[in-house]
Structure 1
Amino acid sequence: MREFQAYPTQKASNEIIFRFKDEESANQFLSTFQLFKQTLVEIQVRDDREISAKQRRFIYALFKDISNWTGYDPEIIKQGFKFDFERLKDIDEISLSNVEKSVAANFLTYLLDFVADHNVPLSFRPLDALEPEDVAHWEYRALIEGFDVLDGSRPVELAHGEHAVGMGRDRDKISNIGNTVFSLSHTHHMELHKIGLNAFKAKYHINGVRVTPEIIKELESRGRRFGGKGE
């Protein structure tokens, strides 16, 4: 497979015009395209942004927390997780000094999945480490694994969003399917009720998890229940 670099310059409906760096490159692309009689070109978008200082700081904080939990030296933890991540993603060796920002985000999520799977105590709030598009995954893991989505602590309570239980409502007559829920410690649960749903979501930059029958089934398989009909 040959790779070419080009930049999108103009859009018209569902058509996009790409500009190559010079005419020779464009001609090479066309000749390759015609040589193999292709009718489809695969386009990959490269992330030229480098890892942020914030991402790097949290990655190394995770190395330290996992080190404290396992008893292994942080450098051993670093090399081991890097190697496993590179093998899993089938990528070349990454450098935490200049790796692409999107790859760093995936690596953070990979490390946090390990933390969620093994209940590793953390010294920081995971939500502070994540890009907005990765927050939903962490919220889901918190709900399924049963830890506080904000600080990773246990035990937790399932806090309801739009259709709150309480104030005379019978928990056993409420279906949670389609409802938004949060996995929170008692303290954070009480804060949600005190400041209100919208203020709580804005303060912590979370949206909650929309409950599906599959989520209820998964929770039940782990011995956890919402309480309510249809579960």
Structure 2
Amino acid sequence: MSEIFGKLKSIKGKEITVLLDDELSTYQIDKYSNNQSPTVAIILADNRKISPDQRKKIYALLGDIANYTGYSIPQEMPAVMKWKYLTETGADMFSLSDCSMTAANKYLTWLIDFCFENNIGFKTKTWDMLPDDYAMVMRCCKHRKCIICLNHADIDHTFGLVGIGRDRRTVDNSKSYFLPLCRIHHQERHNLGAKNFLNKYHIKPVKLNAQTRKELRIGK
């Protein structure tokens, strides 16, 4: 793969015009495409700066990690976790004062996974800031944590497709929606009904791709 940079000039339906920074020779195209029609990936540079909301969530998580681990100098926790993140992921150096929103979101997601994987509890205030994001439902599915209380979750039930008299083994789960719920909140969902339950907790079930369903052992 060869990276070629330029600026997007226009978009018309599915057609785009790009002004390249440097000339592109037919030799380069033939070389990388093996004399076939080349496939091009478009990656848009994120020029947005980290938002105050992202920064607040990140520092809240860092505070929870410091409290849970009993770190003797809590003020150093941001530097410690950033170093761990950079060494484990190979990400580029960044600053929480002016990094892009994409970089901040990747770091935030990594911190959430770190807390789940190490059973680090979230303070109620921290948790209340997080579940509104679609990604949080996915993270809870991945780690089998109840989206409401963070206790162990079952996600072998679907919304809207599986009911009495239907065999879960024959359901096409690619069209199903899932929520990770502990047994208590699973039962509450049945007692209230799906619509009332979702409205009460302001959450939405999500679709899971084939790879995620395979990892979680959820049917086909």
Relative to the length of structure 2, the TM-score reads 0.70
What letter corresponds to residue 70 of structure 2 in structure 1? G
Q: Which residue of 1 aligns with 2:140?
A: 139
Is the CA contact (8 Å cut-off) linking 2:46 and 2:102 kept in structure 1? yes
In the alignment, what sits opposite 2:109? Answer: 109
Render the CA deviation track for 1:90-138: whole Å, top value 9, x for unaligned. 3332111221111111111101111111111101464743684523531
Equivalent runs, 1:165-204 vs 2, <5 Å: 174-175=168-169, 178=173, 180-201=177-198, 203-204=201-202
Deviates more, 1:103-112 or 1:78-87: 78-87
Deviates further, 99-108 or 84-93: 84-93
Opposite residue 175 of structure 1, the aligned amino acid is R
Q: Check the 8 A contact 1:49/1:100 in 2, yes or no.
A: yes
Q: Which residue of 2 aligns with 1:223?
A: none
**C-alpha distance in 2 between matches for 1:142 and 1:214:** 11
Q: Aligned partner of 2:205: which letter? A: N
Note the alpha carbon deviations across 1:143-176, whole angstroms, 9 max, x for none.
2xxx322342x254557333567xxx589x7538
**Number of the residue aligned with 1:57:** 56
For residues 74-113 of structure 1, what are the structure 2 equivalents within 5 Å? 74-113=74-113
Change (3 A) 1:204 1:159: farther
Superposition RMSD on alpha carbons, in Å?
A: 3.7
In the TM superposition, what is the alpha-carbon distance from 1:53 to its structure 2 partner?
Answer: 1.5
Q: Which runs of 5+ in 2 are unaligned?
A: 30-37
CA distance in 1 between partners of 2:60 and 2:170 (Å): 36
Question: In 2, are the aligned partners of 1:181 and 1:208 still within 8 Å (CA)?
Answer: yes
- Matched residue count: 200
Give the direction of change, closer, same or farther, for the CA distance of 1:176–1:48 in structure 2 (3 Å limit): farther
User: Within 5 A, what are the aligned runs for 1:146-161?
Assistant: 147-152=145-150, 154-156=151-153, 158=155, 160=157, 161=159
Does residue 1:37 correspond to 2:34, yes or no? no
CA contact (8 A) 2:62 2:78 kept: yes
* Structure 2 partner of 1:207: 205
Structure with larger Rg: 1
Equivalent-residue separation in structure 2 for 1:130 and 1:8 (angstroms): 38
Matches of 2:197 and 2:180 in 1, distance apart?
Answer: 13
Q: Is the 8 A contact 1:127 1:150 kept in 2?
A: no
Cα deviation for residue 194 of structure 1 reads 4.0
1:29 aligns to what SS in structure 2? Answer: coil
Instruction: Provide the secondary structure at the position in 1 that maps to 2:147.
Output: coil
Any idea what SS the aligned residue of 2:47 has? Answer: coil
Sequence identity of aligned pairs in percent? 24
Runs (5+) with no aligned partner, structure 1: 20-25, 218-229
